[in-house]
Amino acid sequence: MQDEYRTVARAGVHETEINRSRFLCALAPAATEREAQEFIAGVRKEHADATHNCWAYVIGADASAQKASDDGEPGGTAGVPMLQMLLRRDMRYVVAVVTRYYGGVKLGAGGLIRAYGGSVGEALDAVGTRTRRRYRLATVTVDHQRAGKVQNDLRATGREVRDVRYAEAVAIDIALPDADVDAFRGWLADATAGSAGLELGGEAYGDA
């Protein structure tokens, strides 16, 4: 698995005008190919009167799913440059749709490649990106007396507390960078006089 990846900070639209053609790039995070395809369908419906709705998406932290469409533009002049821009920026779990309203001036193949790729690049700058890092999920088990202090100490040291469950003991779900697990185990033993338990779980991605 990748240790980290970048994605868009939020969904957003950025508009550019090139030789009287309007290019609207809509970006959105997408967790699955289905989400990406649903976003594309929504934009196509919203801009059904547009000349073209070209798209590209990259799904998977390792970019395992990559697809693009020229939607009627000359082959390789729209979807592929859009996809290349996403990959060049190390973007993952993201979908881009560039809607073109033709303005009467032909751009030629080189002009189209620059326009579609450039629209995605400008939109990424406008919407913003964020880095997601791989974390190890873990559960700290501690007695009720120490639970409040442990939670406060976790937050004070910048640890992400994901959930807290109260039963005979208190279970605190956290996320740790893999490299920090051993050091955290030592910190927890010191902080609780060795009374707390630490159980490691699976992996997930969170904001870096």
CATH number of the domain residue 143 falls in: 3.30.70.240
- Taking the CA atoms of residue 6, residue 10, residue 13 and residue 18 in that order, the dihedral angle to the nearest 10 degrees is -20
The model's confidence at residue 208, banded by pLDDT at 50, 70 and 90, is low
Query: How wide is the angle at C-alpha 123 spanned by C-alphas 122 and 126, nearest 5°?
Result: 90
How confident is residue 1, by pLDDT bands cut at 50, 70 and 90?
Answer: low
Within this chain, do residues 136 and 122 fall inside the same structural domain, yes or no?
no
Enter the DSSP assignment of 91.
Answer: B
Say yes or no: 23 and 40 in one domain.
yes
pLDDT of residue 61: 87
Taking the whole predicted model, whether its pTM rises above 0.85 is answered as no
- Taking the C-alpha atoms of 113, 40, 93 and 102 in order, what is their torsion angle to the nearest 10 degrees? 20
Range of the domain at 45: 4-127
Which of 64, 93, 127 is the C-terminal boundary of a domain?
127
Q: What was the pLDDT predicted at 133? A: 84
pLDDT at position 150 over 90: yes
Instruction: At 196, give phi and psi (nearest 5°).
Output: -90, 150
Residues 40 and 117 grouped into a single domain: yes
pLDDT averaged over every residue in the chain: 93
Boundary-marking domain end, from 127, 148, 181: 127
Of 81, 96, 127, which one is at a domain's C-terminal end? Answer: 127
Predicted confidence (pLDDT) at residue 204 exceeds the cutoff of 60:
yes
Provide DSSP, 130-173: EEEEEEEEEEEEE-HHHHHHHHHHHHHTT-EEEEEEESSSEEEE
Same domain, 167 and 73: no
Is the pLDDT at 170 greater than 70? The verdict is yes
By mean pLDDT, which of 95-104, 121-130, 145-154, 174-183 is the weakest? 174-183
pLDDT, tens digit, for every residue of 67-76? 999 999 999 9
Burial class (CB in 10 A: 0-12, 13-18, 19+), 193: exposed
Same-domain check for residues 46 and 111: yes
Contact 52, 45 (CB under 8 A): no
* DSSP conformation class of 89: T
Mean per-residue pLDDT for 43-65? 96
Looking at residue 48, its amino acid is: A
pLDDT of residue 154 exceeding 60: yes
Over residues 82-103, mean pLDDT: 96
Total domains in the chain come to 2
Q: What is the CATH number of the domain that holds 26?
A: 3.30.230.30
What pLDDT, on the 0 to 100 scale, is given for residue 9? 93
Q: Which residue has the tokens 């996809």?
A: 83
What count of other Cβ atoms lies within 10 Å of the Cβ of residue 81?
A: 25
Specify whether 59 is located in the same domain as 81: yes
Q: What is the pLDDT of residues 18-52, one digit of tens each?
A: 999 999 999 999 999 999 999 999 999 999 999 99
Query: In the structure, what pLDDT confidence band is assigned to residue 206 with cuts at 50, 70 and 90?
Result: confident
> Which helix or strand (DSSP H or E) is residue 124 part of?
helix 108-127
Tokens of 164: 């807290």
